[in-house]
Structure 1
Amino acid sequence: ERTWLISILKRKIIDHYRKMNSNKGKAEVRMTYSTDENEGDWLEERVADPFDKTAEDTIENTELGFAIDQCLEKLPEKQAKVFEMKTILNYDTEAICNELNITASNLWVIIHRARVAMASCLEKNWF
């Protein structure tokens, strides 16, 4: 019960901040984790500027791509295919289910397992 109640509380807090910061239907949560006014907005500090690419960013993205490919190769074939179709290629759930002849609930189980495995693999090989 405690886990359930904490989950509800988290959602209520998020909804509260979204409602406070909404601007005609555009919800955006803005939080600062510091009392220092000079540090700027938390979201703005952590979102990379797409026009400010450095050589280091390019190298890091290349390394991440290699790490993702290596981790995909370590997954079971079906998990790798489902993960790639859903996460990388952005296929619809229905299209994946039809192509692989699986149910939607089975798809979500496979995706969950693949994501957990990928997160674990990336944590070991890339972070």
Structure 2
Amino acid sequence: MRAVRFHQYGPPEVLRYEEVPDPVPGDGEVVVEVAAAGIGYTDVQLRAGALGDWMPDLPMPFAPGHEVVGTAGGAASSRRSWAAATPNASRRPRRRWCRSPTGSATTRPSRC
């Protein structure tokens, strides 16, 4: 899959659109097929390096984004997926596919 990531802090020009492996869910995670994602102010500040004191060990390369909506595609083999094929929202975002802790993903309200 393709993802936008940065390998160092800096201006928007440090962002790279690159090929990355598909995510594999770990224990207690689901893989979400992303329908829409958001980039917030915190992501911009992280990319710029302004939050180094708050997150000194930011893993590089880093894919910004903390909001995502999509469909859960499955859980780690040690857990049954509570949200498989269910539209959901997660605070763990990223690209076309992402991993999300099952505790941070919620199902869409039925009236949406």
TM-score normalised by the shorter chain: which range applies?
under 0.3
**Which is richer in strand?**
2
**When the two structures are superposed, what TM-score results if normalisation uses the length of structure 1?**
0.19
Structure with bigger gyration radius: 1
Structure number with higher relative contact order (C-alpha < 8 Å, ≥ 6 residues apart): 2
Greater fraction helix: 1
TM (norm. structure 2) is: 0.20
